[in-house]
Structure 1
Amino acid sequence: MTKQLIGLSIVFLLLLGRGLHADDSVGPYIGTLTTTEAYLLYRPGNEAATLRLSVHDEHGTKVTSVDSRSESEHDFVAKFHVVELDPGTTYRYQIEKIEAGSATLVAGADGDFHFTTVPADRSGQVLNVAFISCVNDSTDPVWQQMANHNLDLLCLGGDTPYADTGNLADLRNKHRHLLQRPRLAALGKSVPLVGTWDDHDFGLNNGNGKSAAALKENTRRAFVEYRVQDQYGSGEEGIYQKTDRGAMEVFLLDARWYSQTGPSPVSPNQSTCYGKEQWQWLLEGLRSSEAPFKVLLHGQIWQDKKNRETDDMHTYYAERDALLDFIKKEDIPGVVLVGGDIHVSRYLVHPQRVGYNLHDFIISPGHTSVIPSLNVYHQDLEWSRVEPNQFLVMTADTTKAVPVLTVKFLDKDGQENLVKTITYGQLTPEPETGIAKDLRGYWSFDGDTKNRSKLGSRLDGQLRGGATVSNEHGARGGALQLSRSGSQYITVPRSMLDDNASVYTASSWIKPALLPDHGSADRSFIMESNVTNHCELPGASGSGYAISVGFRACGDAEKINLQLFTETLVPQPVGSERSPSSKPQGGFDCLLDRSLFSKWTHVAVTFDSERLQLFVNGKLAKSHPLPIRGPIAETGA
């Protein structure tokens, strides 16, 4: 009898396992939507079948139907492409299995299964788009919370899922497992889902197109099978795409496939991140975009992670900076950045980087694992949060005369941890002419230490050690008055320059009462940048002397050394798979008559990544070629 019971138990378990395996369905999921088209996917289980998607209007009248096959070649995932729909219209849908001339309903046919095409008019919309990266089973409460936010689009920002393999069967299982999470599947019935990848769903931690080359074919194949979009990269390589939802266009960039595979299209001596084809696609897409708000999304962050890994846009600073320079040159409005990867959520503002303030949102993690060590210093950091189960919702409201973008950092409990409201006007470049063009900071010292450039009060100076300002006694109006013996100075706590600036000019009027005595080791500073670590976070550079101008004695008693230093990046060659390092350069000496500085003197320094030049009273005093050419390293203030 015992043997019979055991036998029955085994049979029962085998039958149960067989039933679960046979019903291993996925979806349906909605993918890309346009004004007249819709893309959907459905996996009926481990079976080849003919499936029919039927689309109905709000009155229940059948509008159209599309047949598709679930075949083993694509892991039994069927794709549907519906055309000739009406803009801004809500449709219900259902999926049937067609067998022996009869139809059996397998999904849909109730109010949960619906989609709305993109309106033809970009105005009059309130569009809610969610962003998330780094997810696993512990993300389930986040999917549940997302259902409370009336989403129109969900963008997966990479490590969605964690695959860490190039084995096709394992990749398919992990993609399938993610899409089978009940709360996510419930969203996918009516909320379009699109995505890009990061390193783990690309197959290898910190992986790039060179180190993970052997995995790329299978990771792309599994990604394409389990996403339903109108574009997957070039069609043969990569997975980049964009989705235009009227009020917002999201560019889902591929920072993995092409990385380290060849020279950059903007800097042939450095490795590419995006590759030539994606690069051109991105520039053309930005130039032609008519959406008020344009989101550039990829898995990795846009700055330096400050660890041993190289999967960030600091590694590819040439392409990052060329992209931002392009946006500025072309006067493209409405651009914001989104990244993920680091298991920390952060918000940065890069002041006037693209002709207006560039808002940079990092959303991670969607799961419960955080990495506090990656919440590091950055000169433009405004806010950060090291907590689990986080996601981002952007609401683009074009019902207003001036469109508004509202960005919320949320968590699984629905807590609004940071809310930023940005108007379209604040994301629109304003023409600048004369001295105001590209002016980063300007202090007249006419009775105060306020900055009078467009960067505003973030660059207001702070007097230290009893330093004073006056309304007179200057070369032209007011002046800052300092005593070296009293250790007096003025500090500007935030950065004046962009990340890794390739050019700058710094100038000042000075009138030193004393110069360093001949034969002494004293140094008197005119100006020096330094990493101030305003956010008091780890990972700040200990130097950061990108701008350094000061006096030192020299061997000639009648001369003074007006000495320059800088600190630059050291670019890495193509295929190195390394991030750029940094290196102090100088001092660069220029011996001038001491008598020159007995009255107000104009001192200016120019930098162009190849040389430092020193101008005194408008004349070139010395040109210093840089032993290592490159943009400046990180600087704080």
Structure 2
Amino acid sequence: MTSCKKAFYFFVLCFGFQITVFAQDTSHFKIIFGSCNKVDLLNPFWEDMGSRNPDLFLWGGDVIYADTNDMSKMEAMYAQQKANPAYQKFIQNVPVMGTWDDHDYGINDGGTEYAMKRKSQQLFLDFIGLPQDAAARSREGVYSAKTFTQDGKTIKVIVLDTRYFRTSLQPSSDPEKRYRPNRSKKGTILGKKQWKWFEEQLEEAADFTVIMSSIQLLSAEHGFETWGNLPNEVKRFEKLVKNANSKAILVLSGDRHISEFSKKNLKGLDYPLIDFTSSGLTHSYTAYDGEPNQYRVGQVVSERSYGVVEIDLKNSSIQLKIIGLGGEVLQELQQAY
């Protein structure tokens, strides 16, 4: 387990002198996350994100846009991102975890059929900083988990891989939609081994659990990529959440080039399941003109933004914020647990 502490200071007046006394603010744990980052476009957020002193940064996918079978091209793009001065400064002070999505996986909307996925996997793990001798290097996929301990509470972060094992999607006959739901029990998003691993992770006790999925879990009516294209996988996910040994579970997602909050009440769960989508960092769906989402809370944000998850460990609540240019709070949501 990793212990993360955040320093702050206050002033004490003693015999006419000002003394700076350092203490530890451990009552909050802050995660910042984002997705959809083209290396040849300006990402205007690194400095602002760093100024918020996060305990963790999560890549939500599409770290680069390398839809290619050419691994040298992909490797060069990762190198370009890693050499970005603003990003270099940011990661000096902030731990990084994350997953990939289709464009850094290597093929648009791609899944298990992608021929270069094994080599692509190693390049992503290189970028994210996984040690060469890590056990995860020898298994398929980029899923991972880490538990942080702070102020006597545990925060578990689970990063899923929704690409490596995902079976083919069914095209839609509706010209307004790309895919239609496949209700067959044969289709999968996580694959047999990752599902087993995921179940084991949720069996472990935690006060707060944050799950990073590159694609949306709850919003399923738009016809693009979503867990909803395989409804039986959604049911399996929700069943695991209801049986999890965690006091609070939150889902994060990206991919869509929009940001929004989705909330669903699950029978047998005494708090709503929230899917916080944040996308994108360098470009967004500026032509957005509306789409259905029965679970949406608030409005869709279709400008560049990133997400902030601030966990109040003392009061068992989570504050979610969509942050735009100049640090503007574009929308926020708070949930008690």
Q: 2:118 aligns with which of 204, 217, 242?
A: 217
SS in structure 2 of the partner of residue 208 of structure 1: coil
- TM-aligned CA distance change 1:404 to 1:342, over 3 Å: same
- TM-aligned CA distance change 1:234 to 1:182, over 3 Å: closer
Structure 2 portions without partners, runs of 5+? 7-23, 169-182
Aligned equivalent of 1:129 = 31
Q: 1:185 aligns with which of 88, 91, 95?
A: 88
| 2:264 counterpart of 1:350 | yes
Q: 1:244 aligns with which of 126, 144, 147?
A: 147
- TM-aligned CA distance change 1:357 to 1:374, over 3 Å: farther
Deviation at 1:152, TM superposition (A): 1.2
Aligned equivalent of 1:324 = 238
What CA distance in whole angstroms lies between the structure 2 residues aligned with 1:372 and 1:161? 22
Deviation at 1:383, TM superposition (A): 2.1
Written as runs of structure 1 = structure 2, the 5 A alignment for 1:76-475 is 87=3, 124-136=26-38, 137-210=40-113, 212=114, 214-229=115-130, 233=136, 235-246=138-149, 247-260=154-167, 269-290=185-206, 292-302=207-217, 303-304=219-220, 306-307=222-223, 309=224, 311-330=225-244, 332-352=246-266, 355=269, 356-370=271-285, 372-373=287-288, 375-398=290-313, 400=314, 402-424=315-337
Aligned equivalent of 1:450 = none
User: Does the 8 Å CA contact 1:349/1:382 hold for their aligned counterparts?
Assistant: yes
What CA distance in whole angstroms lies between the structure 2 residues aligned with 1:384 and 1:233? 38
SS in structure 2 of the partner of residue 341 of structure 1: coil
SS in structure 1 of the partner of residue 333 of structure 2: strand
The residue type equivalent to 1:420 in the other structure is L
SS in structure 2 of the partner of residue 314 of structure 1: helix
What CA distance in whole angstroms lies between the structure 2 residues aligned with 1:374 and 1:243? 38
SS in structure 1 of the partner of residue 128 of structure 2: coil
- TM-aligned CA distance change 1:88 to 1:335, over 3 Å: closer
User: Does the 8 Å CA contact 1:301/1:312 hold for their aligned counterparts?
Assistant: yes
User: Does the 8 Å CA contact 1:336/1:358 hold for their aligned counterparts?
Assistant: yes
Greater relative contact order: 1 or 2 (C-alpha under 8 angstroms, separation 6 or more)? 2
- TM-aligned CA distance change 1:89 to 1:343, over 3 Å: closer
- Per-residue CA deviations over 1:421-458 (Å, capped at 9, x if unaligned) read 2222xxxxxxxxxxxxxxxxxxxxxxxxxxxxxxxxxx
The residue type equivalent to 1:278 in the other structure is Q
User: Does the 8 Å CA contact 2:35/2:281 hold for their aligned counterparts?
Assistant: yes
User: Does the 8 Å CA contact 2:202/2:240 hold for their aligned counterparts?
Assistant: no
Taking only the aligned residue pairs, the percentage that are identical comes to 24
Deviation at 1:354, TM superposition (A): 5.6
User: Which shifted more, 350-359 or 368-377?
Assistant: 368-377
Deviation at 1:269, TM superposition (A): 3.5
- TM-aligned CA distance change 1:397 to 1:345, over 3 Å: same
What CA distance in whole angstroms lies between the structure 1 residues aligned with 2:36 and 2:135? 21
Deviation at 1:254, TM superposition (A): 0.1
Structure 1 portions without partners, runs of 5+? 1-33, 36-86, 91-118, 262-266, 425-637
Q: Which has the larger radius of gyration?
A: 1
User: Does the 8 Å CA contact 2:5/2:26 hold for their aligned counterparts?
Assistant: no
SS in structure 2 of the partner of residue 244 of structure 1: strand
TM-score normalised by length of structure 2: 0.81
User: Which shifted more, 292-301 or 346-355?
Assistant: 346-355
Deviation at 1:199, TM superposition (A): 0.5
Aligned equivalent of 1:16 = none
The residue type equivalent to 2:159 in the other structure is L
The residue type equivalent to 2:118 in the other structure is E
- Per-residue CA deviations over 1:209-265 (Å, capped at 9, x if unaligned) read 12x2x121221121122122376757321000012222422211000001118xxxx
Deviation at 1:331, TM superposition (A): 6.3
The residue type equivalent to 1:345 in the other structure is S
User: Does the 8 Å CA contact 2:262/2:275 hold for their aligned counterparts?
Assistant: yes
SS in structure 2 of the partner of residue 147 of structure 1: helix
User: Does the 8 Å CA contact 2:321/2:329 hold for their aligned counterparts?
Assistant: yes
What CA distance in whole angstroms lies between the structure 2 residues aligned with 1:162 and 1:138? 11
- TM-aligned CA distance change 1:315 to 1:226, over 3 Å: same
- TM-aligned CA distance change 1:394 to 1:89, over 3 Å: closer
User: Does the 8 Å CA contact 2:30/2:55 hold for their aligned counterparts?
Assistant: yes
User: Does the 8 Å CA contact 2:42/2:282 hold for their aligned counterparts?
Assistant: yes
- Per-residue CA deviations over 1:113-149 (Å, capped at 9, x if unaligned) read xxxxxx9xxx944211101010124342111211221
SS in structure 1 of the partner of residue 256 of structure 2: coil
TM-score normalised by length of structure 1: 0.44
Written as runs of structure 1 = structure 2, the 5 A alignment for 1:606-621 is none
The residue type equivalent to 1:300 in the other structure is I
What CA distance in whole angstroms lies between the structure 1 residues aligned with 2:36 and 2:295? 24
Count of residues paired in the alignment: 298
User: Does the 8 Å CA contact 1:209/1:260 hold for their aligned counterparts?
Assistant: yes
User: Does the 8 Å CA contact 2:202/2:245 hold for their aligned counterparts?
Assistant: no
The residue type equivalent to 1:315 in the other structure is N
SS in structure 1 of the partner of residue 293 of structure 2: coil
The residue type equivalent to 1:142 in the other structure is F
- TM-aligned CA distance change 1:331 to 1:225, over 3 Å: closer
